[in-house]
Structure 1
Amino acid sequence: MSRWPHQSEVDNFYGNPRGNNGEPDSVWESQNIVYVSPPWKLVTSWSFEPVNSGVRVHKKCADSLNNIFLSIWASANKDVRVINEWGMHLYSGGYNFRLMRGSTSLSMHSWGCAIDFDSARNAFGDPNPNFARIPQVLDAFASEEWTWGGGWSKPDGMHWQAADI
């Protein structure tokens, strides 16, 4: 049994992020979303602006994500150049209350249990995402039982989530 819920059970595990009129619940957000920072500097993948505050995720995912970051850092021999080659400095998203692309259902990002990196080289729908060639990154997430989107029927190679499909 996985330590993470099935996507259909995320409300039970993470709580309900929905507020009134389909808007995010600010009380739920303030009680559940925290920041996790890797030991390297992040920049946004779309503007290359520094991400000084860290990655926003659900508090139930925070220790796990920190373990993932430490594992990746160790696998890179604490070398920022390796991190940058792998694209792990290119933050593409964490907590974001929104619908799944092309769906009427909420994205796993809405619960703060999903994270994206290096969207340009791991684009949604790309059958050959760059992360498929970086076992150190895949293994770090797999060791914490996060699901990678790179092997889905419609690949999402930038995406990991702390929820089973």
Structure 2
Amino acid sequence: MNKTAVRTLQQFLADNDSYRARVDGVRGPKTLAAVNATLQTHAGRLPDGADRWSDRRRAVACLQIACQQHKIEVGPIDGLWGPQTEHAADILATLQETGSKPAPWRDQQPLDANPNGWYREAELEQALGSPTRKPPMVVVPCPWKLALAWDLNTCPSGIGCHEQVADSLARVLDRVHGHYGPQRLRELGLHRFGGCYNKRRKRGGTRWSTHAWGLAVDWDPAHNKLKWGRDRARLARPEYDTWWRLWEEEGWVSLGRTRNFDWMHVQAAKL
């Protein structure tokens, strides 16, 4: 049982008026007292001998009951911290934070729209010219305040991109701003701009990056590192589902959604 799970348990106990201390992820005496009081009210759900379980096992059992109450599949109330209980606890944590359960990501497929006729990566050099020459660029104003991810005191007014994708980028930014609003965008870290045009090859590869043509944008790289999957990347969370849908409706491709790495990256080029 990790610290995040303890916080989830404490929040459940607090929501049920049995815990009034800090939600700090520390399984101390106040948490234990609240756990025991809660288990007493749900004694009928516990197997024989549960009164002899360790404090940790009783805490896990209480968290399992919390998941059951929220109709999250958790298995039997046995007080054992296994993969199913850990997964159920993660769902409950998301529900507490966002008000809804995460979408079942294994069933999700990113949109495969291409209304703007983006080229495939393999076609870019022939279609747009050598990436060693700077492409024709346009600065697209951003309707919310950006900050450079590596220098938050620097606030660019727009995003410099290839002229062929500028109109599409402007539409996406306007729709994102209209949906989330500036305050929520900042809360989500979507003001942390990680760059667009950059004449370089792919990190960890030998081919030219789509950044070399000004066709890709990176967002909040510190919380969506190159090798991170959906278990760690912030942009993989359910509160960003609309964010990705608005990009995908314009044909932009998320490497996170399609390949489960480099969640910071979205590009106007097909794979």
With the shorter chain as reference, the TM-score category is: 0.7 to 0.9
CA RMSD of aligned residues (A): 1.6
Question: In the alignment, does 2:141 pair up with 1:37?
Answer: yes
Distance 1:53 1:84 in 2: 15
Moved more, 81-90 or 60-69: 81-90
Q: Write the letter of the residue equivalent to 1:40.
A: W
Question: By how many angstroms is 1:52 displaced?
Answer: 2.8
Selected match of 1:139 from 245, 261, 265: 245
In structure 2, stretches of 5+ residues that fail to align are 1-112
Question: By how many angstroms is 1:53 displaced?
Answer: 4.1
> Scaled by the length of structure 1, what TM-score is found?
0.86
Residue number in structure 2 paired with 1:21: none
> Scaled by the length of structure 2, what TM-score is found?
0.53
- Give the structure with the larger strand fraction: 1
Partner SS, residue 115 of structure 1: strand
Question: By how many angstroms is 1:49 displaced?
Answer: 2.7
Q: Is the 8 A contact 1:72 1:140 kept in 2?
A: yes
Residue number in structure 1 paired with 2:164: 60
Number of matched residues? 153
Q: Is the 8 A contact 2:159 2:196 kept in 1?
A: yes
How many percent of aligned residue pairs carry the same amino acid? 31
Residue number in structure 2 paired with 1:22: none
In structure 1, stretches of 5+ residues that fail to align are 19-24
Residue deviations 1:68-115, cap 9 Å, x none? 101100111xx3210112221100010000011122211110010011
Change (3 A) 1:86 1:42: same
Partner SS, residue 73 of structure 1: helix
Bigger RCO of structures 1 and 2 (CA < 8 A, at least 6 apart):
1
Question: By how many angstroms is 1:51 displaced?
Answer: 3.0
Residue deviations 1:107-129, cap 9 Å, x none? 11001001100111111111122
Partner SS, residue 82 of structure 1: helix
Residue number in structure 2 paired with 1:98: 200
